[in-house]
């Protein structure tokens, strides 16, 4: 008998853990201008995921996750580029208290990006998931060395199926 269940998501290696992360959102109309003009080492923004092409309202908040990678930023960016991210999925253990984000890749691998046991973070994750649904699954992963807003290392525009 063949086991058809997918293998569980794997934890990220320690060297790929950033210093911190947070949920964010940008209006659909700002995604392309904001990220398209920034110099960055890693960028995956396929045209078919343009908010305009998806028919999304200009003011619709597109959810995202920003990772502040600190000194590990380059390693995280290289790893993400190799993995070819497809989507981030919120998994709720307890919708009011705990959960995590799982990265799904183009080749079918799944990685536990973050876990949390915090009511405020669980609420934010629920909002992220709701916004994802309203945006036809569109969301983004944004990698920065720090929260100064000056430098962007990479951005990946993703879509949950």
**In this structure, is residue 136 part of a structural domain?**
yes
**pLDDT band, very low/low/confident/very high, at 15 (cuts 50, 70, 90):** confident
**In this structure, is residue 2 part of a structural domain?**
no
**In this structure, is residue 125 part of a structural domain?**
yes
**In this structure, is residue 108 part of a structural domain?**
yes
pLDDT tens string 22-78 = 999 999 999 999 998 788 999 999 999 999 999 999 999 999 999 999 999 999 999
**In this structure, is residue 28 part of a structural domain?**
yes
Residue 14: predicted pLDDT = 86
pTM: predicted TM-score of the whole model, two decimal places = 0.93
**In this structure, is residue 101 part of a structural domain?**
yes
**In this structure, is residue 90 part of a structural domain?**
yes
Please tell me the total count of domains within the chain.
1
Query: E strands within the chain?
Result: 10-11, 20-27, 42-44, 61-68, 85-94, 98-105, 110-117, 138-144, 154-159
**In this structure, is residue 1 part of a structural domain?**
no
């Amino acid at each position: 008998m063949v086991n058809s269940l997918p293998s569980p998501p794997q934890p990220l290696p320690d060297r790929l853990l950033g210093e911190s992360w947070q949920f964010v959102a940008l209006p659909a109309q700002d995604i392309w201008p904001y990220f398209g003009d920034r110099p960055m080492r890693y960028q995956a923004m396929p045209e078919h995921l343009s908010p305009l092409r998806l028919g999304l309202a200009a003011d619709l908040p597109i959810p995202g996750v920003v990772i502040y990678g600190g000194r590990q930023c380059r390693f995280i960016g290289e790893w993400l580029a190799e993995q070819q991210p497809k989507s981030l999925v919120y998994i709720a253990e307890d919708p009011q208290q705990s959960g995590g984000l799982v990265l799904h890749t183009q080749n079918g691998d799944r990685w536990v990006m973050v876990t949390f046991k915090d009511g405020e973070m669980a609420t934010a994750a629920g909002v992220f998931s709701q916004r994802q649904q309203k945006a036809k699954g569109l969301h983004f992963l944004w990698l920065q060395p720090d929260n100064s807003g000056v430098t962007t290392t990479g951005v990946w525009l993703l879509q949950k199926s």
